[in-house]
Amino acid sequence: MGMKEKILDVKNLTKSFDAKKVLDNLSFEVKKGVVFGLLGPNGAGKTTIIRIILDIIRADHGEIKIFGEKFDENLKEKIGYLPEERGLYQKITVLECLKYFAELKNVKKSEDKIDFWLDKVGLRDYKKKKIEGLSKGMQQKIQLVAAFIHSPELLILDEPFSGLDPINTKMVKDILLDLKREGKTIILSTHQMDQVERTCDRILMINRGKRVLYGSLDEIKSNYKESLIVEYEGDLGRIEGVKKINDYGKYAELSLEEDTDPQEILKRLIEIVGVRRFEMKAPSLNEIFIEVVENA
């Protein structure tokens, strides 16, 4: 990993809007061929980082190198971007729209590539249809195609799974994994922690413009105490020795106090509910996310 080429190198990035500091001395790097999760609560500064990387807005301080170089307009052809703010031209056809975006990315023989990608996302039959007639999910897939059409080296996808049903979520996840296998680098900005956990090699979590977690998923998880998973029937209530319960009704994640013995907890649980599953495991990213943000 250490020998791999750096695709993105961000150093001491700072940005304020009026008096509000949105990014505070942020540094991170992304290496070639990884899926990199960019996480943080709403308003943490994720979109601002992405816009600065793409030179859509300028940072107040800091330095960014992409593909080892300072930003240059030509580098945009090596980057594919799916913005969080979704939209397409409504009055033109899928083909016209994708052709325009492809032309701007300097794609030759764009129609072949458009056909290839429309096939891949199952929208070949909609090529000549006007975009306004497509469902929201279909439009999102068209936007993903627009981000992939020029075979970019670096993909920056802001919430790529939001608004997709499970089948399409799986389709998009499979495409991303294919692209990773081809050696593409993917930056994934999302709130969907389960997706991050399953697809990302490394993550950066920011909160109020500051870096709060950074590294590989295993490294991060190893810094957090294991938690207890319980599947049960009944009413859980408060349990002595448990610091925090994330209760879903039939399923709960329990964070134990420092000196609590899990065996003791199991005994107490059996007294109050019907236990169907009892398991110690590393905390989920979701738990870590909630803990980090709440404790900030």
Give the residues lining the site for another protein (CB under 8 A): 51, 54-57, 73, 76-77, 79, 81, 83, 85-90, 92, 100-101, 103-106, 143, 146
Query: In the complex, what is the shortest distance from the CB of residue 241 to another protein, in angstroms, rounded to a whole number?
Result: 48
DSSP 284: P
Whether the CB-CB separation of 38 and 204 falls below 8 Å is answered with yes
Query: In the complex, what is the shortest distance from the CB of residue 87 to another protein, in angstroms, rounded to a whole number?
Result: 3
Taking the least distance from each CB to another protein, the nearer of 95 and 293 is 95
Taking the least distance from each CB to another protein, the nearer of 39 and 53 is 53
Query: In the complex, what is the shortest distance from the CB of residue 114 to another protein, in angstroms, rounded to a whole number?
Result: 15
Taking the least distance from each CB to another protein, the nearer of 91 and 238 is 91
**13 residue type, one letter:** L
**Distance, CA of 42 to CA of 189 (rounded, Å):** 11
Q: What is the DSSP string of 174-234?
A: HHHHHHHHTT-EEEEE-S-HHHHHHH-SEEEEEETTEEEEEEEHHHHHHTS--EEEEEEES
**Distance, CA of 264 to CA of 241 (rounded, Å):** 9
- Classified as helix, coil or strand, 242 is strand
Query: In the complex, what is the shortest distance from the CB of residue 245 to another protein, in angstroms, rounded to a whole number?
Result: 39
Query: In the complex, what is the shortest distance from the CB of residue 31 to another protein, in angstroms, rounded to a whole number?
Result: 22
Whether the CB-CB separation of 253 and 246 falls below 8 Å is answered with yes
Query: ∠ CA 175-8-17 to the nearest 5 degrees?
Result: 105
Counting every residue written for the chain, the total comes to: 296
Query: In the complex, what is the shortest distance from the CB of residue 56 to another protein, in angstroms, rounded to a whole number?
Result: 5
Query: In the complex, what is the shortest distance from the CB of residue 100 to another protein, in angstroms, rounded to a whole number?
Result: 5
**Distance, CA of 20 to CA of 32 (rounded, Å):** 33
| Cα 174 → chain centroid | 15
Taking the least distance from each CB to another protein, the nearer of 96 and 115 is 96
Q: What is the DSSP string of 165-185?
A: -HHHHHHHHHHHHHHHHTT-E
Taking the least distance from each CB to another protein, the nearer of 139 and 227 is 139
Taking the least distance from each CB to another protein, the nearer of 114 and 273 is 114
Taking the least distance from each CB to another protein, the nearer of 43 and 234 is 43
